């Protein structure tokens, strides 16, 4: 079997599929910054293209002559996120990329399709069109809302996982972890997994493990913060003006510390910013480092995100990490596909 990864980013989905035994030939993404991490950490080729401009027959060529073919991808989820506060996102360029995914499925009819996205994508017509096309093409389809700690991801992240197959019924495998066995922040970045750092201190061995410098007022705030607490734990003079207004009083998670013995909050593209969520380290006076965020996304500790000859740019790498599919979730998706094919006695063939 062979896969093509649409909107591949830095390779979280490809890496997980590979760990499940699925060979990916090509990952496609419009962002040139994804090339180095994708090719340095997977066995696939990176193709820098806009999926909306890719002819279907070219994508078909990426599969080669092997079947079954797996078309996988996570179209950019920002247009569908609940963080948009009700804004009409239908005119965003990214919104239509799921239609391009649908176009490729319609034209190529790969034997297996998988798509991962935010749960809110189900509320949009573009998703309904995607599912309707799969039905018309004769796929068996399942879609599940997944709580990521159930699949070994130490984040309170919820995602939609869609699977479709030409070979019969396919559903995501049962969870790999029970609620009392969910991976935690401590399991992932504690117990000596990474060295302790102060604000603005950098590891001697890992350029991605560097604490972002906090201003003096934020150092005072984080020193008064307790794991799982809120800004209400601070002295009055440290509170932001917005928190003193009724409209801002419900924003409890910003400027918060994580808890050691729970999964982390969802890792966003701003996880390195203390004020963007509950991204304060459980006991060190700083926010998460790029490396810690990547580890909470279940990337291996040695995953390379930046060419050794290039500088590390905080915002760029933070965006790449936050947008990625967690590797462990991708691995569970891959295991589901391989076991589904085995149950249906599907063997690899070539079209020669």
pTM of the model: 0.93
Which tokens in the block code for residue 104?
């490729």
d(CA 335, CA 16): 9
**Of residues 34, 77, 148, 242, which has the active-site annotation?**
77
pLDDT digits (tens, 9 = 90+) for 267-326: 999 999 998 999 999 999 999 999 999 999 999 999 999 999 999 999 999 999 999 999
For the chain, how long is the longest CA-to-CA vector? 74
Whole-number average pLDDT of the chain: 92
Beta strand 112-117 with 69-73 is: parallel
Q: pLDDT grade, residue 248 (50/70/90)?
A: low
pLDDT(252) > 80: no
From 91-105, 128-142, 221-235, 332-346, the region with the lowest mean pLDDT = 91-105
Q: What is the pLDDT of residue 246?
A: 61
CB 180 within 8 A of CB 208: no
The percentage of residues in the chain with a pLDDT greater than 90, rounded to a whole number, is 83
Q: What is the pLDDT of residue 231?
A: 87
Question: What value does the mean pLDDT take over residues 3-32?
Answer: 97
Q: pLDDT grade, residue 244 (50/70/90)?
A: low
The percentage of residues in the chain with a pLDDT greater than 70, rounded to a whole number, is 91
Q: What is the pLDDT of residue 17?
A: 98
Task: Locate the domains of the chain by residue range.
Answer: 2-179+325-350
pLDDT digits (tens, 9 = 90+) for 83-142: 434 444 444 454 589 999 999 999 999 999 999 999 999 998 999 999 999 999 999 999
* CATH fold label, 2-179+325-350: Rossmann fold (3.40.50)
pLDDT(337) > 60: yes
d(CA 40, CA 310): 14
Q: Does residue 77 have an active-site annotation?
A: yes
CB 17 within 8 A of CB 7: no
Nearest CA-CA partner of 23 in 39, 9, 7, 2: 2
Q: What is the pLDDT of residue 241?
A: 77
Question: What value does the mean pLDDT take over residues 230-255?
Answer: 77
């Amino acid at each position: 079997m062979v896969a093509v990864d649409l909107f591949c980013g830095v390779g979280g989905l490809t890496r997980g599929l590979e760990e499940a035994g699925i060979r990916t030939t090509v990952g496609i993404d419009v962002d040139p910054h994804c090339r180095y991490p994708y090719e340095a950490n997977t066995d696939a080729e990176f193709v820098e293209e806009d999926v909306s401009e890719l002819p279907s027959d070219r994508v078909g060529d990426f599969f080669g002559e092997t079947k079954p073919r797996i078309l996988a991808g996570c179209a950019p989820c920002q247009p569908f996120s609940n963080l948009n506060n009700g804004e009409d996102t239908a005119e965003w360029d990214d919104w239509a990329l799921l239609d391009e995914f649908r176009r490729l499925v319609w034209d190529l009819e790969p034997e297996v399709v998988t798509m991962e996205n935010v749960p809110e994508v189900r509320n949009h017509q573009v998703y309904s069109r995607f599912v309707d096309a799969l039905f018309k093409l004769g796929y068996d389809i399942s879609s599940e809302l997944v709580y990521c700690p159930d699949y070994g991801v130490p984040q309170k992240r919820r995602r939609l996982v869609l699977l479709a197959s030409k070979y019969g019924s396919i559903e995501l495998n049962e969870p790999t972890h029970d609620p009392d066995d969910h991976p935690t922040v401590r399991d992932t970045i504690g117990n000596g997994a990474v060295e302790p750092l102060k604000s603005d201190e950098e590891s001697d061995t890992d350029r991605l493990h560097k604490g972002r410098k906090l201003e003096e007022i934020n150092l005072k705030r984080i020193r008064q913060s307790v794991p799982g607490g809120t800004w209400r734990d601070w002295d009055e003079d440290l509170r932001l003006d917005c928190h003193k207004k009724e409209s801002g009083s419900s924003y409890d998670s910003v400027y918060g510390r994580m808890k050691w013995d729970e999964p982390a909050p969802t890792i966003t593209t701003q996880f390195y910013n203390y004020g963007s969520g509950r991204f304060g380290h459980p006991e060190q006076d700083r926010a998460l480092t790029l490396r810690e965020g990547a580890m909470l996304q279940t990337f291996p500790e040695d995953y390379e995100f930046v060419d050794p000859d290039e500088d590390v740019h905080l915002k760029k790498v933070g965006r790449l990490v936050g947008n990625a599919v967690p590797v462990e979730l991708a691995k569970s998706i891959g295991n589901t596909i391989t076991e589904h094919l085995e149950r249906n006695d599907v063997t690899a063939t070539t079209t020669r």
